Amino acid sequence: MYYAYILRNSKTHKFYKGHTSDLERRLKEHRRGHTRSTKEESKSWEVIYYEEFEFREQAIAREKYFKTASGRRFIKNKISSTDIYPNVPSGTIGE
């Protein structure tokens, strides 16, 4: 299983979009500062949205979409349309 995911930094309100085969491990890497682009305020990253895919190529394509103007609009609409985070694995928010 592969994932395209979106992180949000609770302090800076920045977003990070990526893909992985292990979402929990990848979040831990972001929070430990092992990723250059999320090193700043590393403990403040949380998963706000993800989608599952059977193939890695599908997850990569979806990540690329998230980085487009229409993908950013999708993200904005998706996270503002609910009080809770959709598609978020248990134990990944606010650890």
Write the CATH number for 58: 3.40.1440
89 falls within a domain: no
Total of domains in the chain: 1
93 falls within a domain: no
45 falls within a domain: yes
Residue carrying the six token digits 């949000």: 8
- The pLDDT of residue 78: 82
- The pLDDT of residue 82: 53
Query: Is a pLDDT exceeding 90 seen at residue 62?
Result: yes
**39 or 89, higher pLDDT:** 39
**86 or 15, higher pLDDT:** 15
33 falls within a domain: yes
- The pLDDT of residue 13: 86
- Helices 69-80 and 56-66 cross at an angle (nearest 10°) of 90
- The pLDDT of residue 86: 53
| Backbone CA torsion sign across 82, 80, 43, 56 | positive
17 falls within a domain: yes
Domain range for 71: 2-80
Structure tokens at 70: 């229409």
